[in-house]
Amino acid sequence: MALLHMNADDFNTYVTEGKGAVIVDFFATWCGPCKILSPIIEQIAAEFDGKITVGKLDIDENLEIATAYQVNAVPTVMFFKDGQAVQTFVGVQPREVLVEAANKLL
């Protein structure tokens, strides 16, 4: 599966109720740093295709989820394993940092 543009139902299916590894990029369309991070997230989605579900969640359209996970700044990238948040990065991160964290999920 390529990069998934998540809504609340997708988030519940893949993260809350899901099993396995999931990376969620919490972003906003108006956020400049989010636009910088977006190609990195797309690369990670392609690289880990079939191993890790990678999704983007617009905080403006999914405010309840962002609030529940205490997303106070964007971009925020959260790594989940079997429905539990295991690592969080706030702000633009180098690709290598995110890949290293993704490998730890496997």
* Active site residues per annotation: 31, 34
Q: What is the rounded distance in angstroms from the CA atom of residue 3 to the CA atom of residue 64?
A: 22
Cβ contact 96:40 at 8 Å: no
The tokens for 67 are 């609030």
Phi then psi for 55, rounded to 5 degrees? -135, 160
The tokens for 36 are 């910088």
Q: What is the rounded distance in angstroms from the CA atom of residue 71 to the CA atom of residue 52?
A: 21
